[in-house]
Amino acid sequence: MPAKKILVVDDEKEWCYFLKEYLTRRGYSVDTADDGLKAKDLLAKQAYDCVFFDCNMPGLTGVELIKVIQEKSPQAKKIMISGYDLINEDFAKGLGVDIFLRKPFSLESIQEAIENA
């Protein structure tokens, strides 16, 4: 069975690198993008099983990226991550997000999100 293909999108490059290393060690195939426009380019070239994305990013926001994911990789589970108090699970689910994670979150919750997605 091929490894799940995951895209991690966050403007915090260190976080992208950390999450890529963590997920790669668990057998997933992981790409990263540090802004919404780079993510859009990757989504145009590759199908993903899961997309982790921050809500507040340059280029395209997470809210704008949801539409791109739905168009380019409709099978992908959308996992929004945010540390902003104004963004909550109800808001995210209303936009079509499958799973919402509030920063900070545990590594176990990342693994659980992938398994539930």
| Confidence band, pLDDT 50/70/90 cuts, at residue 86 | low
User: 30 forms bridges with which residues in the sheet?
Assistant: 6
CB 76 within 8 Å of CB 96? no
Amino acid at 114: I
| Confidence band, pLDDT 50/70/90 cuts, at residue 82 | confident
Question: Domain 5-116, CATH 2.60.40.2310 — does that match?
Answer: no
Above 70 in pLDDT, residue 89? yes
Q: List the chain domain ranges.
A: 5-116
Who wins on pLDDT, 94 or 38? 38
To the nearest whole percent, how much of the chain has pLDDT over 70?
95
- Convert 14-29 to b/e letters by CB count within 10 Å (16 or more is b): ebbeebbeebeeeebe
In SS3 terms, 29-75 reads as EEEEECCHHHHHHHHHHCCCCEEEEECCCCCCCHHHHHHHHHHHCCC
Quick: pLDDT tens for 29-79.
Answer: 999 999 999 999 999 999 999 999 998 888 899 999 999 999 999 999 999
Q: What is the pLDDT of residue 1?
A: 60
Q: What are the tokens at 12? A: 């915090």
